[in-house]
Chain A
Amino acid sequence: MRIEMYGATDMGRVRKNNQDSLFYNAEMGLLIVADGIGGRKAGEVASALAVNGIKEAYLNCDSLRHEEVEPFLIKTIDQVNKDIITKGMSSTQMEGMATTLNAILFVGDKAYICHMGDSRTYLYQRGNLWQLTLDHNIENYVERGWLPDGSLALNPKPGALVRALGLSAQCEVDVYELKLQAGEILLTCSDGLTGMVQDRKLLRIIKEYEQRLYELPQRLVQEANEAGGQDNITVVISAVARS
C-alpha cells in the first residue's frame, strides 16, 4: 500500500513563536504532530522532544510485525514521556513542560494512530469525515462519566487537558488501529486548525482539494489564519494511493 504525505506548520497570527513540531516521511510510513502546551514554559522543547524521540526510536528499531507495533509504540512513548519530565525537572525554565501528540505509523495495510491530548486525526473517505481521536480534555471526560460532574466547576476551562506527554509519570496513550482502503485520506493536525475551522468546512476544503493534495496543508493553514490564527497551526495529510 503506497502512502503519500504532505505537511505544513505555521506560527499563526497571534503567537510569537511556534511551539508545534512535526515530522513526516512517507518512505518510513511515519508522521508525528506535537503541540507544546500553551501557557507552560518551553512547550516547543517538549514538542520537539516528542517528535525526535519517536523518530529516533523508530529509526533504531528492526522491522516490526503487526503484533509488535502497539507494544513498541507504547514503550517508546512512555520513554519519551519520562524524558520530557526529566528534562523539565533539570531547569526551572522548562519546569512542567508538556505536549500533545498525534503520531501515525503505517505498517502493511494498517495505520496505528497514537494519541494524547487535543491534537486530532480525522479520516476522510468518499465525501465523509470522521474525527477518529477523542480530545483528552475535562469536558469530554465529564461527559463520558470518567470524571465526576463537579470537575468542570473546579476547572473553568472545559478544554483543559487531562492527558498529555509530560503531565504525569503515568503515561497512557491511546493507540488505535485502522485498516486502510485505497483513496482514504488521514488529516492530522494541532488544535490551531480545529479551533479556528469547523469540521464541516474542513470537509468542504478536503473535497475541493482531493485531486491536488499537495496543496491541501497550506490551504488549511491559510483558512485557519483567515479565521484569526489564534494558535500555531500544523497539518499533515497522509493519503492511501489508489492502485
Chain B
Amino acid sequence: MERLYLIRVDMERFLGPFTLKEVKEAYLRMEFGMQDEIAGSLRPWITFDDLEAIKRHYPELVQLVQREMLSGWGVSVHGQVSHQTKVKAIPQTSPNLIARTLLLTILTALIVAIILLLREGQLQDLLLYFKDRNYFNARSLYAETYNARFESYMDRNREAINQAMRKKKGFQQWLPLVRSVAFERDGHWEGLPNKRLRGKGDEEMPADCSMGAWEQRWLASRDSWDRFVEGRELPRADWVQILTMDPHWMKLRSPVPGWIRPQSYHEACLRMALKSLQRLPQDSHGEAHKMLMARMGWQLGLLEGADQNEHFEMAGTLWALSCIEDGHDAEALPNCLGSANLRSDWRQWLEATIALRRLAILTENKRELSPEQLALFERGLAEAEDKTKVLWLSYSEELQFYREILQQNGQVYSALQTLQQRFPQLHWIP
C-alpha cells in the first residue's frame, strides 16, 4: 500500500491524505508553500523549509523539496555543470613566475580587504547584499531610525517582501521591518495575517491590535470607562489590559527579539490603542476619554524614558496606577491610593502594584542592602509573592530576581548579574 501524507496549511486547515505523487500535484497547484507542514502516518509534523528534518524523517520527499520547491524559489540545487567547456591545459613544465607572483599579490590583497571589512563589520553587509538585495536596501534605508524613504521602499516592494516571507528564514529576517511599518500606520501589513504579525509568545495579548480592532473595542466599552476610572469596575477586557499594563514590566523586556520599533507587541498594541482613541470623537464620555488617552501617553512616556514632568490629566484608578509607577519613596506609595472608594478587585490590584514597586525602589541603584534594608526587603517580598497573583502580567522573572537577592544576602548587583545570565533576553543591566 502506498504511503499517505497529510499537509497542515497555515496551522488552519489540512490537505490530503495524499500519496507522494498527489503531494507534488498539490504543490504545483500552489495549494501549500514552504512554511507549511507535512506528516506521514504516526510520524512527526515537519515544515517543508526545514530541509535537515525532511532529510531525517522523510528522505523520500527530499527530491520534491529540492527539485520542485526550492528551485521554484530561485535557489540553485544543481551541483552538476550542464555543459562542459574545453579548457586549454597549462603547460606544467615551465611555471610562469610572473603569473604566480601576480596571483599571490591578488590573493594577499583579497585577504587584507576581507580582514579590513571584517573589522569594519561590513563583510556581513556585503554578503547580505548578494543574498537578498531587497533586504539589504531596506535595512540600509532604515539605518538607525524609521523614516519616510524606508517606508516608501517597503511599500514599493511589498509583493517581493511577502514572497520572501513565505520562507521561514525570510520571514524571520523581514518580520521586524514589516512590523515597524505596520505599527507606524494602522497595525496591518497587507498579505500577512495579524496573528503572524504578532507572532507566538505574546498570546495573552489580543491577536488583532490594528487601529480598526481598537476602534471597535473603545466603542463597545464606552459605557464602562467611568466606572473603571472610579474603581467600581475592573472587567477582564483587552482595553483594561492595555490601560493597566505596567511600563516598568515592558521596559525590562524591551526590545523583544523580532521587534525594532515598536520594541514589543505590548508597545505596538499600546500605540495602536492610543492612536485609535485619539481619532474617536469625544462626546458624552469626554472626561474619561481624555483620562484614558492621558494614561496611555503616560505609559509610553515612561517606556521611552521621557521627562514625565508634563501635566497628565488623570484621576481615580488611572492616577493611582501612574502615581505608584512613578513613585520613588517606598513609604509614600500607599498615599497614591487616595481616599477613593475602590471595589475589592481594584484595591487588590493596586496593592499588588504597590508591593512590587516597593521592592523595585528598595533595590534601585543599590549594589547591596544593609541588614535593616534586607529585613524590610524580605517582608516586602513575602507580601509581593502573595499579592501579585491577581495581576494579569507574569512577574515571575522579577520575583526570581528578588529571591536571588535574598539568597545572595542582599547583594543586589551580583543578583542582577546572575539574573542577566539566566534571562539574557531581558535587560536587567542597562
- Residues 144-158 (chain A) with a chain B CB within 8 angstroms: 144-148, 150, 154
The one of B4, B238, B423 in contact with A128, judged by C-beta atoms closer than 8 angstroms, is B4
Q: Which residue of the partner chain, among B14, B17, B200, contacts A176 with CB atoms under 8 Å?
A: B14
* Minimum CB–CB distance for B426 against chain A, Å: 10
Known A127-B1, A170-B206, A174-B11; judge A146-B41 contact (CB<8 A): no
**A126 engages B200 (CB within 8 Å):** no
- Report B-chain residues with C-beta under 8 Å of the C-beta of A123: 6, 14, 17
**With A125-B17, A172-B207, A174-B11 as given contacts, are A199 and B200 in contact (CB-CB < 8 Å)?**
no
B200 touches A170 (CB 8 A): no
| Closest-CB distance, A192 to chain B (whole angstroms) | 20
**Do the beta carbons of B200 and A144 come within 8 Å of each other?**
yes
Please, how many angstroms separate the alpha-carbon atoms of A119 and B12 in the complex?
A: 18
Closest chain A residue, CB of each to CB of B168 = A145
Instruction: Find chain A residues with CB under 8 A from B1 CB.
Output: 126-127
CB atoms of A178 and B41 under 8 A apart: no
- Encode B1-22 as 1/0 by CB contact (under 8 A) with A: 1001010100111100100000
Q: B400 — nearest CB in chain A belongs to which residue?
A: A154
Chain B residue, CB-CB nearest to A168: B204
User: What sequence of 0s and 1s flags, for each residue 154-172 of chain A, a beta carbon within 8 Å of any chain B beta carbon?
Assistant: 1000000011000011101
| B327-371 interface with A by 8 A CB criterion | 345
Which residues from chain B contact A31 at a C-beta distance below 8 Å?
none
Besides A129-B42, A176-B12, A176-B13, 14 other A-B contacts (C-beta < 8 A): A85-B236, A123-B6, A125-B4, A128-B41, A134-B11, A134-B45, A141-B200, A147-B201, A148-B201, A150-B423, A178-B13, A179-B14, A199-B42, A203-B41
B73 touches A (CB below 8 Å) = no
Report the Cα distance A178→B253, complex, angstroms.
39
List residues of B (208-234) whose CB comes within 8 Å of A's CBs.
none
| Docked-complex contact B236 and A130, CB < 8 angstroms | no
Q: How far is the CA of A67 from the CA of B4 in the complex (A)?
A: 29
Interface residue B285 (Cβ < 8 Å from any Cβ of A): no
Question: Complex formed: what's the CA distance from A141 to B199 in Å?
Answer: 12
Q: What are 18 A-B contacts defined by CB distance under 8 Å?
A: A85-B236, A89-B345, A126-B4, A126-B17, A127-B1, A129-B41, A130-B17, A132-B14, A141-B200, A170-B203, A170-B204, A170-B205, A177-B12, A177-B13, A177-B14, A178-B13, A178-B14, A203-B42
| A163 CA to B6 CA, complexed, in Å | 25
Q: Total interface residues on A, using CB and 8 Å?
A: 36
List residues of B (227-266) whose CB comes within 8 Å of A's CBs. 236-238, 241
Contacts of B108 in A (CB 8 A): none
Q: What are the residues of chain A within 8 A of B241 when measuring CB–CB?
A: 169-170
Among candidates B207, B236, B396, residue contacting A82 with C-beta atoms closer than 8 Å = B236
Assuming A176-B12, A178-B13, is B200 touching A146 (CB within 8 A)? yes
Indicate with 1 or 0, residue by residue over A28-65, a CB within 8 angstroms of chain B CB atoms.
Answer: 00000000000000000000000000000000000000
Is B303 close to A, CB under 8 A? no
Quick check: is B282 within 8 A (CB to CB) of the other chain?
A: no
Task: Report if A130-B39 is in contact (Cβ < 8 Å); known contacts: A163-B203, A170-B203.
Answer: yes
For the complex, what is the distance from the CA of A178 to the CA of B7, rounded to whole Å? 11
Q: Give the docked Cα–Cα distance between A142 and B11 (Å).
A: 17
Nearest-CB distance from A162 to chain B (Å)?
8
Q: In the complex, what's the smallest C-beta–C-beta distance from A150 to chain B, in angstroms?
A: 7
Closest to A122 in B: B42
Leading 6 A-B pairs by shortest Cβ distance = A146-B200, A128-B41, A177-B13, A169-B236, A170-B204, A178-B14
Residues of B within 8 A of A144 (CB): 200
At the interface, yes or no: A200 with Cβ under 8 Å from chain B?
A: yes
Closest to A146 in B: B200
A101 contacts partner chain B, Cβ-Cβ < 8 Å: no
Bitwise, A132-144 to B at CB < 8 A (1) or not (0) is 1010000001001
Indicate whether B395 reaches chain A with its CB closer than 8 angstroms. no
Check if A175 is an interface residue, CB within 8 A of chain B: yes
| Mask of A175-190 contacts with B, CB within 8 angstroms, 1/0 | 1111100000000000
Cα of A175 to Cα of B200 in the assembled complex, Å: 16
In the bound complex, residues from chain B placing their C-beta under 8 Å from that of A162 are 203
